[in-house]
Amino acid sequence: MSAPREPRPSTLAQSLDTIRTIAWMKETARQARAESRVIGFVPTMGALHAGHLSLVERARRDCDPVIASIFVNPKQFGPKEDFAKYPRTLEKDAAKLAAAGVGALFLPEAAEMYPAGFATYVNVEGLSERLEGRTRPGHFCGVTTVVLKLLEIVQPTFAYFGRKDAQQARLITIMARDLNLDTQIVLGPIVREGDGLAMSSRNAYLSAEERRAAAVVQRALAAAGDEVRAGVRDVLRLQEAMQRVLAAEPLARVDYAEIVDAATFEPVLRVARPAYVLLAAYLGRTRLIDNMFIEPVAEGADEFAIQL
C-alpha cells in the first residue's frame, strides 16, 4: 500500500514534522519500525504543561523516535462539558515538543479520526462506569476508542500516560492487555506546581482565588498519606483525614474521595495491597482530580511507600 505523501510537510516548529493524515502517520511509523527503531508515543490533548513534557523526557530515554499527538477528542467530552473551551495553544505546544526532542507530531482533524459513518467503539466494562465514569458517562468509552485508534495508527513499542489520570491509565492498560496489543503502557509520575497543585490543562480555568484554594486537593491527599505513615490502615479514617482538610476550604466541594485497589479500582476497607487514594473536587465550576499511590515497601510488609 502506498500512502499519500503529504504535499508539503507543514512545520509549526523547526525540526518537528507535523503530520495531519492517518495514512502519512502510518507510513512514517512503518518506516521507523522497518528500521527496527523503538517508537515511543505520547498522546495528548495539547495545552501542554510540565507533566506532558516529563512523559516526553521519559520516552526519550527509552525510545527513538518519540512521536506525540495533539487531538482534542470530541468523543470523550459530554454534551455539557468543556470541549469548545478546552484550551488550545498549538504554536506553544509545538515549540515545547520540538525543544523536548519529539520527532513527529500527529495532529489530525476530527473528520480525519471520525469520518462520516464512524460507528466502532471500544469499552472496558465495569470500571469505565465507576468513579470518573459515574460523573462523566461515556467519557472513558471515548478515551479508550481514541487511544486504540492512535495505537493502531502509530503502533508504538511504548505509550506514555500521566498517573494523574490514574483510572484512565488503568483502563488503557486493561484494554491493551485484553486486546493483545503489542504496545507497553508506561505511567509517568504526577508533576506538581510549587504549592502542590497537580499540573492539568484545566487549571487554566481557575480564577486567581480558586487557584490559591486549589492546593487544598493535594494537601488533603498528603493528610491521608501522613495517617498511613502513622500506621492508620482503616479507609474510613483516611477519608476523614481528607474531609477535615477539604472542609476547611470553602471554595472546594468534594465529588469523591475513595481508596481503591490499584489493580481492580474496587473500593477497599483496609489498606493492605497497592492502592490509589483518589480525589475529585470542584473549585468553583472547575473539576480537578488528583491521587496518591501507596504500596507496601515489600510483599506483605506493613510499611507503605507513598507516591503523591
Query: Of 100, 102, 105, 124, which lies in the binding site for a copy of itself, with binding defined by CB under 8 A?
Result: 124
Give the nearest distance from C-beta 265 to a copy of itself in angstroms. Answer: 11
Q: Is 139 a catalytic residue?
A: no
- Cα 192 to Cα 88, 172, 200, 257: the distances in Å are 21, 23, 9, 19
Give the nearest distance from C-beta 83 to a copy of itself in angstroms. Answer: 20
Give the nearest distance from C-beta 176 to a copy of itself in angstroms. Answer: 9
Q: Which is nearer to a copy of itself, 152 or 209 (CB)?
A: 152
- Could you say which residues in the range 264-303 bind a copy of itself, by CB under 8 A? 264
- Could you say which residues in the range 165-194 bind a copy of itself, by CB under 8 A? 174-175, 178-182
Give the nearest distance from C-beta 264 to a copy of itself in angstroms. Answer: 8
Residues touching a copy of itself: how many (CB under 8 A)? 26
> Which stretch in 44-52, 146-154, 207-215, 287-295 sits in contact with a copy of itself by CB under 8 A?
146-154
Q: Which is nearer to a copy of itself, 155 or 200 (CB)?
A: 155
Q: How far, in Å, CA of 167 to CA of 129, rounded?
A: 11
Query: Of 105, 147, 148, 159, which lies in the binding site for a copy of itself, with binding defined by CB under 8 A?
Result: 148
Q: Which is nearer to a copy of itself, 152 or 303 (CB)?
A: 152
- Could you say which residues in the range 62-121 bind a copy of itself, by CB under 8 A? 117-121
Helical packing angle, 166-178 and 139-154, nearest 10°: 50
Task: Classify residue 168 as exposed, middle or buried by CB count within 10 Å of its CB (0-12, 13-18, 19+).
Answer: buried
Residue 105 parent element (H or E): strand 104-106
Q: How far, in Å, CA of 285 to CA of 182, rounded?
A: 40
Give the nearest distance from C-beta 121 to a copy of itself in angstroms. Answer: 6
Contacts of 174-181 with CB under 8 Å at 24 or more apart are: 174/124, 174/127, 175/122, 175/124, 175/144, 175/147, 175/148, 176/151, 178/124, 179/122, 179/148, 181/151
Residue 91 parent element (H or E): helix 90-99
Query: Of 21, 89, 123, 243, which lies in the binding site for a copy of itself, with binding defined by CB under 8 A?
Result: 123
Q: How far, in Å, CA of 3 to CA of 275, rounded?
A: 45
Cell for 268?
Answer: 477497599
Is residue 41 within 8 Å of residue 25, measured between CB atoms?
no
Catalytic residue among 19, 40, 52, 241: 52
Q: Does 29 bind a copy of itself (CB under 8 A)?
A: no
| Interacting residue ranges for a copy of itself, rule: CB under 8 A | 22, 26, 117-127, 144, 148-149, 152-153, 174-175, 178-182, 264
Active-site annotation, residues = 52
